[in-house]
Amino acid sequence: MGVDLSITLGGARLANPIVTASGCFGSGKEMSRFVDLRSLGAVVCKTVTPEPRLGISPPRGAETAGGMLNAIGLQNPGVAAFRDDDLAWLAERRVPAIASVGGHSVADYVRCIEALRGAAGLVAVELNLSCPNLEDRGFMFALSAERTAEVTAAARAASDVPVFCKLSPDVTDLVAIAEAATGAGADGLSLINTTLGMAIDPLTFRAKLSTGTGGLSGPAIKPIAVRCVWQVHRALPHVPIIGMGGIAGVEDAIEFILAGATAVAVGTANFYDPTATEAIARGLLDFCNTHGIASLDEIRGQVKIEG
């Protein structure tokens, strides 16, 4: 029996559902020594902003039980350099790319998207909404349905490719914010971004990050991420979701697909196993062959809940 792992993500046809999580894979240049990038569905690149950013002073990363904390501060070369260098590099190798964009205002997001219009190989744009909105007292866009809708509508109007909104789990009603994003024109959702965490060295009494708090990722957050995907898919069953948060093996990927994810993004696992993405893609094919699954559509959203 032949297995078809291909998916449609916001209008783009991808060979399989395994993509990279933004910020954990760069643009694939360094990782191409370990992974055949063409074996992946797409590379989701590190978030870029209108102008270059140096990021936050160290320490800005710390290992935790079952994961890691980071506070990088969106260090990046700026959208123009990204477009002319990294995005062009991926296009030359015919690797589908998803650009992650961020900013401190709605205008920042629009500037990034306008700079990316017409870029070869770009199949979608992901809005990193866990950025502080300086027009709204520094609150993250993702914490407000109204602000999420505002930036999404502006991005959708400016973009010539599908727009995905990356949402935070640190909200009281994720479904309401997901509905605001899709209502404003989002073609899909990325669930979830990191959750806010903190670690302290008990010997020095110092916080392990220079900012005090940072984003927690890795296996520790997987149950939260699976729950978020399930809740949003149940409310918005026709909206494509890129599921992420603690995916380290093929069984993790299957969990997200059963919860309703169209694609799955591998992030923190790349730091301790740079071959993780390709291994999961191979493992997914083996899983489908073993269990007689011809297409992932057969199991997507098919979690069984007893009682």
User: Which residues are known to be catalytic?
Assistant: 131
Pairing of strands 12-14, 7-9: antiparallel
φ/ψ region of 260 (left if φ > 0, alpha if ψ in -120 to 50, else beta) reads left
Calculate the dihedral angle through the C-alpha atoms of 65, 66, 72, 77, rounding to the nearest 10 degrees: 150
Nearest residue to 96 via CA among 45, 24, 131, 151: 45
Calculate the dihedral angle through the C-alpha atoms of 171, 125, 39, 303, rounding to the nearest 10 degrees: 30
Tell me which H or E stretch contains 166.
strand 163-166
Nearest residue to 181 via CA among 222, 217, 235, 145: 145
CA 93 to chain centre: 22
Tokens encoding 67: 């994961």
In what order do the strands lie in the sheet containing 213-217?
A: 61-64, 67-70, 213-217, 195-198
Q: Please, are residues 244 and 190 in contact by the beta-carbon 8 Å criterion? A: yes
Q: Please, are residues 35 and 150 in contact by the beta-carbon 8 Å criterion? A: no
Tell me which H or E stretch contains 148.
helix 145-158
